[in-house]
Amino acid sequence: GCSENLKLLQLIIKTAKRDKLSLGVVFIDLAKAFDSVSHSHINAVLKQKGVDVHIINLISNLYNNIVTSIK
């Protein structure tokens, strides 16, 4: 849940500070992001903004081949 993710983020930040490492954190609200804008457009904008290709692939893979079933 949310509290576990916050604890993990705090640990990552604390570790980076302790070890004097550079750290970048990005928060992306993906709720409803992909049902109204084409995936290729989102990828193109991310690429244009200089987002690392690995991050773009990670975001794309979150929404590839998603299937929802209601029983």
Angle between helices 39-48 and 53-63 (to 10 degrees): 160
pLDDT value for 34: 57
Write the pLDDT tens digit of every residue in 2-55.
Answer: 788 889 999 999 999 999 999 988 777 666 665 667 888 888 999 999 999 998
Higher model confidence: residue 27 or residue 58?
58
pLDDT value for 24: 87
The residues, ordered by sequence, that sit 6+ positions from 55 with a Cβ below 8 Å of its Cβ are: 26, 46
pLDDT value for 33: 60
Q: Burial code of 8-32, b = ≥16 C-beta within 10 A, e = fewer?
A: eeeeeeeeeeeeeeeeeeeeeeeee
pLDDT value for 30: 65
Say which amino acid occupies 7. Answer: K
